[in-house]
Amino acid sequence: MKSVIPREVESLWTLFTAPTVWAIHFVVCYAAVAVYCAKAATFGFDFATVRLALAGFTVVALAVIVLSAYLAWRQWGFGSGDPPHDEATRKDRALFQGFATLLLSGLSFVAVVYVAIPLIFIAECQR
């Protein structure tokens, strides 16, 4: 793992990665189903295909979030120190950011799962 990922990719941007993935996943799921159901007749595939594609997309989104969580965990020193990390030092700032990113990744993971749950139960377009 360490050989593939650069030693220090962490910046303020990594903080936003997981919530951004959540937002994109949300929009893609809603837009895909809405557009498909409005224009089902003009597409050559059925709703099950849409659900399968979105399920695949969900797995990809979750994988990206897990990766972001791993990087955050690493930045946080793999849990070696306890919060609140509020010293005015470069080290504490990095630890704090790592911890915050880890929590946001957790939240985004759960949110993506919740957004995807209807794909399991809603089996058809209602028009």
Partner 1 sequence: MMDQGLTDASRPRISGLRSSKLCPSSILLPGILLSSCSGSHSPLDPAGPEASHVAHLFFVMLVGGVVIWIAVVAALVYASRKKNAHSEKAAGRVILWCGAILPTVLLCALLSYGMWLMPAIRPWLPDDQQVRRIEVTGEQFWWRVRYLDEAGEVMFETANEVRIPVGEPAHFSLKAADVIHSFWVPSLGGKMDMIPGRTNPLTLTADREGTYRGVCAEFCGESHALMAFTVRAVAAREHDAWLAARQASKPLDAEGLATFLNNGCGACHAIAGTAANGRIGPDLTAFGERGTLAAGTLPHTETDIARFIADPGEIKPGVKMPHFGMLPEDDIKKIAVFLKELK
- Interacting residues with partner 1 (CB under 8 A): 106, 110, 113-114, 117-118, 120-124, 126-127
Q: Of 59, 73, 61, nearest to 5 (Cα)?
A: 73
Nearer to partner 1 (CB atom), residue 9 or residue 34: 34
3-state secondary structure of 5: coil
3-state secondary structure of 77: coil
Nearer to partner 1 (CB atom), residue 94 or residue 103: 103
Q: Of 51, 48, 57, nearest to 26 (Cα)?
A: 57
Nearer to partner 1 (CB atom), residue 10 or residue 22: 22
> Is 1:7 a contact under the CB 8 Å cutoff?
no
Report the nearest approach of partner 1 to the CB of residue 22 (Å).
15
